[in-house]
Structure 1
Amino acid sequence: MRSKLKSTKITEDLEQGRFSMNMRVLENTSDRRFLTSLFQQLIVAVLAGAAVLGSIMLITSEQGPLLTEGIHLYAFFGFVLPFGGFVLSMRALMLVFKRGVDG
């Protein structure tokens, strides 16, 4: 009997245009944790890609002070930077596989 009264009230509210709902999007902590992990993965992947692209640009650069007769300083940094990109890529992969294990 009680559910019939509620449905009648809901129907009346719908007819009168008074029906409203309140919904909280990220109220659950697991939802926030999921979105945080996705953003972490995205940021780490973008940084890894930027490191690799930056290193390519530095390696092909013919500018900057010379370290030796044939190696420019910027090119040297370009050869060191892929290591940072590799570390960030491994971090991104770890985040993906860790998320797969956690659920």
Structure 2
Amino acid sequence: MDNWFSSFQFAIDLKYDLKLTMLGTLRKNKREIPTELVNVANRPEKSCQFACHKDCTLLSYVPKKRKNVLVLSTTHVDDKIDPESEKLMMIVDYNNTKYGVTL
């Protein structure tokens, strides 16, 4: 799911009301995101921080200096790494399933 549509409340609604899981990026200006995950000025490249709440996992990943990617998932609950690419499974699954049309 694209960051335009994803939010914590939407992920919870999908999971409990419709029995659907969600994996998508999240915009940094959402008020429910802890400030520790948004501020990446002093974090090294390829560092990760996780936050979990109500069957949701939020990942803050710094692929490059001063770049922050926030990924929200109701499927992933750990920091498993893909042995082939040596990336987090959350990132690998997001990259493998992102396709479609943005209007």
Larger strand percent = 2
TM-score (ref. length: structure 1): 0.20
Larger helix percent = 1
